[in-house]
Each structure stands twice: as C-alpha cells, then as structure tokens.
Amino acid sequence: MYRRTFLATAAAFTAGPAFSMQLSLNDISRYLNGIERATSDFTQVNDDGTLSTGKFYIRRPGRMRFEYDPPEKLLVMAGAGQVGIFDGKSNVQKAERYPLRRTPLNLILEKNVNLARRNMVVGHSFDGTATIVTAQDPEHPEYGNIQLKFTADPIELRQWIVTDGQGARTTVILGQLKKVDDLSSTLFNISYEEGQRGVKP
C-alpha cells in the first residue's frame, strides 16, 4: 500500500504557456512558500492508461486533500503529520495511515520549504521546457520517486510524475489553481473523517 502514498502525492498546478528557462531550487522554494490555500480539479493518468478525476485542496503548512470522483471510492488526506488513505475496496471507514515526513508531500507542505537543503531532492534538471525536481526517500529508494515539473514566468508547478518501486508511473495534472480565503480544517482532519464514516474514537 505504500505505493498509494506516493500516488496520493502526485498533483500539478497548470496555467499559461511554458517558457524555456531553468529555475533554481531557491526560486521554486519561494513559489511553494507563497501557496497558502487553494483548490483545483485534477485528472490522474494511471500506469495502465486509465483516467481518474477529482478535486484537490491544499492548506499550507501541512495539509492536503484529494477527493476522487465516482466510480473511484478513494480519498487521500494529509494533516496532523500523517497521510490518511480511505480506499473503498478495502478500508472504507478507517484510514490507512503513513507518516507525512516519510512521503514527498512533506517537501511542499513544510512551513518553510527549502529544497536546496533537503536530502530527499536527488535530481534538478531542465528538459528544454520545464525544470524537473526529483525526490525520493534517501533511506528507502526502493519506494520509488516523484518528479515535480515547473515552468517559468510565472513559476507554475505543472505536474507530478510518480514512479513506484516496480516502475509503474502515475501522472496527476490539475486545472486552474484557485486561491481561496479559507478552507475548513475538517477537510484535512483524518480522525474527523473517520467519525463521519462511523468510526468511534
């Protein structure tokens, strides 16, 4: 199930045309630190070519939520230092939990993002149109990696490509990122969600 944790982190903010300019890790860090509260629709391209869609929420620091549209019965939440996964096929009511710090989500959900100092960043390259930052758990490279693709002027995170330990690739692309004034804390509260699903404390 650890693959799902990586799967949950795959997201992208898309907007505007791409410009050929490599970005520094410091520039990318400043961009990520500027994101506080936002929502977007997303489309996920699975390894087998099938598509999933849903709604994405982010409230920095420390919180994200991925709501998948039917027929998917999947909900992924990040909050209180954990990632919680509700899978309609196996764990409908009680989340499967993982430490947030052990996932690439932690890279962009930290209070003060500083990619230049993170030992999870193992690659920083340019493909002619986008700057690519590759991250993985240095203690467990067998879990796979995540590639975050950014374009410049203005800086935008376009997509995340997740490769699991078996080589399967998952891409999730967001629509227009919409900044909002506030997002309820219950959207990111794993225990609250469990309570709504009938799990007693």
- pLDDT of residue 12 exceeding 50, the answer is no
Any domain includes 86: yes
What percentage of the chain has pLDDT greater than the value 90?
A: 50
Confidence of residue 201 (pLDDT cuts 50, 70, 90): low
Any domain includes 201: no
Is the pLDDT higher at 159 or at 61?
61
Q: Residue 123, exposed/middle/buried by CB under 10 A (0-12, 13-18, 19+)?
A: exposed
Query: CATH no. for residue 190?
Result: 2.50.20.10
pLDDT (tens digit, 9 = 90+) per residue, 14-35?
Answer: 334 444 689 999 999 999 999 9
What is the 3-state composition of the chain as percent helix, strand, coil, each rounded to the nearest 5? 20, 40, 40
For the entire predicted model, the pTM comes to 0.80
Q: What is the DSSP letter of 110?
A: S
Number of domains in the chain: 1
Is the pLDDT higher at 1 or at 197?
197
Any domain includes 23: yes
> Could you give the CA distance from residue 66 to residue 3 in angstroms, rounded to a whole number?
15
Any domain includes 27: yes
Q: How far is CA 112 from CA 95, 98, 126, 190, in A?
A: 28, 22, 24, 23
What pLDDT score was predicted for residue 63?
97
> Could you give the CA distance from residue 29 to residue 39 in angstroms, rounded to a whole number?
20
Instruction: Tell me the pLDDT of the chain averaged across its residues.
Output: 85
- Residue ranges making up the domain that contains 99: 2-196
